[in-house]
Structure formats: structure tokens, C-alpha cells
Structure 1
Amino acid sequence: MARRSDASAGTPATVALVRAGVPFTVHAYEHDPRAVAYGMEAAEKLGLDPAAVFKTLLANVDGGLVVGIVPVALQLDLKALATAVGGKRAEMAEPALAERKTGYVVGGISPIGQKTALPTVLDESAILCETIFVSGGRRGLDLELAPDDLLAVTGGRYAPIARAR
């Protein structure tokens, strides 16, 4: 997988990957401002299997923020996320708080290059993929990389944190 150097794609996520020497590919698409399911929009516009496209969600686990990364066609299992980080109770973080802590806008929150380093958990289904797609730091921009590389650059771990809708 080749790194793509594209000035228009420069985000904190791409900068962090380049700095870490992690191979990745940038995939841009025309974001529809009317879209409500940003991850499914990415899968559709890029012609990808939704099982390989992951969304980045923030949850409050026992008073601390945690990043949960799950396939776009599934939901984050809050109880499983709490368990994965040794917590008891989790609830979705307020969008404004997620934006402040990550430095990204909702629908473009990347698990990479966030303003505040947070505990990160990637759904174990990613193990089945050679590469996965995550937000590149803005709507209409996804990054393709190996799941192990994503965990290496975020200090994250695998756990079963996704469930069917």
C-alpha cells in the first residue's frame, strides 16, 4: 500500500501516520451534506464492503472518554466497550465534547491524530480484514490501512465491541 502525499488531504491523521512511518492510502469522495450515516455514505461512495469501513465513536466510560471503532453497518455495544477498558458503565459522549477532545468534526472524527490521546478499542472483526478504512479527519476522506497498524499508532487494542443494529 503506497502512501499518498496529497496536500489537500493533509489532516492531523495523515500527518501522524507519515510521522509514524505507517503505510496508508487516502480515499477521497464527494461528501453529501444531507447524509446522516457518514460511514455508510463512505462505503457506498467508495464502493466498499461495509464490513471493512469503520466508524469512530466516543463514549464516556466511568467518567473518562474512550474511542470505540466499529464497522459502519453495526452499532457500538457500550457495555462491551466498558468491559474492554475495565469499566462498568458507558454512554455515548456528547458530540460537542467529542469534537473538542479530538479536534475533528462529527462525521469526520478519525481515531488517528486526535488532540487528546484516548484509550482506543477496535472491534475484533477488523482482524479478518487485510486493510480497513477509517475517517481521515474530515467528511469525504477515508484512510485505508492495516488494522494492526491502526492499533500501533493509537496504542489501541482489539475487543468484541460491535453488535447488530
Structure 2
Amino acid sequence: MVQKTNAARLLDQLKITYELIEYEVDEAGLSAVSVAKKINLPIKQVYKTLVARGDKTGVILACIPGDYELDLKALASLSGNKKVDTVPLKEVQPLTGYVRGGVSPVGTKKKYPLYVDERIESVERVSISAGVRGCQMVLSPADLLRATGGRCGNISRSN
């Protein structure tokens, strides 16, 4: 039985349908590509959540396809900032309540603005971290956006 996370409880409160998928955690393989293989989903459906800080808005979150990299200039433009940088790893847990490899855009300690790569609109179901390493949530992109107030834009580029 999969243990409910804060992110899952929040989706329950919003009456959003999702599936939890557990997988074996490997400290050396926390990448979204590795997770996609373990949960048997195409990488284009597995999104990773990155924590960034804008010069005007402060902390923001970005959700991008697992095999893409964040386009900081595009994220800055979409979020109304002149400059955006990812936050140092040591700040991720204090800001979000989540550890690296387990950051979910749902249920963070404080609700931060979320920007989601527009490629999400081309998939029927999306997999995101459930808030702990070793567990993914699979839901519709529309439900993810509804739960988070996320805004779509072209914020990533292929590696």
C-alpha cells in the first residue's frame, strides 16, 4: 500500500483523480529519465519540478519534461522577471518541504507560482513527483494545472 503524501492529500481535497506509482529509489539515479524507465512511462510524460528564484517575484517553480532542460530566459519572460536562476540545492528542502528527487509542484510548504512547459498539453496523462523519492503521481495535465494554478509556456529546450 502506498503511503499518502501531502501532495496526494491535497489532490484528494480537490477531488482530483490520480494514480500513485511506487518505484525503487537509487541515489545515483534520481533523474526523470531513470524514473520514467522504472515506472514504465514514456519520458515525454514524466515531468520534473525545479525550484527557481526571480529577481522580481522571488521563488517560483517550473515543471518541464524529464528529458528537457529549463530555459531560464524563457522562464524569466513568462514569469515577469528580468532574470531567473535555479536555487542552490541546500535551499530546496527549506523552501518547499521536499528533498531533491522528490519535489512536487503540489503541496509545497508555501504556495509558489508554477510555470509548466507547454508540451504538457500534448500528453493525456502526466507523471510528477508525489512529494517523496520513490513515488510518482499520474494525473491529467488539466487537473495538475487546476490543482496548482500553473501557467503554461515554452520554458524548456531539448538537451
TM-score by length of 2: 0.95
Q: 5+ unaligned residues in a row in structure 2: which ranges?
A: none
- Is residue 90 from structure 1 mapped to residue 84 from structure 2 by the alignment? yes
- The structural deviation recorded for 1:9 is 2.4
Q: Which residue of 1 aligns with 2:51?
A: 58
Q: Which residue of 2 aligns with 1:3?
A: none
Q: Give structure 1 regions of 4+ aligned residues with deviation exceeding 4 angstroms.
A: none
Q: Which residue of 1 aligns with 2:24?
A: 30
- Is residue 48 from structure 1 mapped to residue 37 from structure 2 by the alignment? no
How far apart are the structure 1 equivalents of 2:91 and 2:123?
31
* SS of 1:40 mapped into structure 2: helix
- The structural deviation recorded for 1:36 is 4.4
CA contact (8 A) 1:60 1:91 kept: yes
How far apart are the structure 1 equivalents of 2:17 and 2:129?
15
Offset from partner CA, 1:5-60 (integer Å, 9 cap, x none)? x4x421110010001111101111111122242x1121011121101100000111
Q: Which amino acid aligns with 2:42?
A: D
* SS of 2:35 mapped into structure 1: helix
* SS of 1:139 mapped into structure 2: coil
Q: 5+ unaligned residues in a row in structure 1: which ranges?
A: 1-5
- The structural deviation recorded for 1:92 is 0.8
Instruction: Show the 5 A alignment for 1:86-125.
Output: 86-125=80-119
How far apart are the structure 1 equivalents of 2:27 and 2:82?
36
Given candidates 121, 137, 155, the residue that maps to 1:127 is 121
Q: Which residue of 2 aligns with 1:73?
A: 67
TM-score by length of 1: 0.92
**Residue-pair matches, total:** 158
Q: Which amino acid aligns with 2:101?
A: G
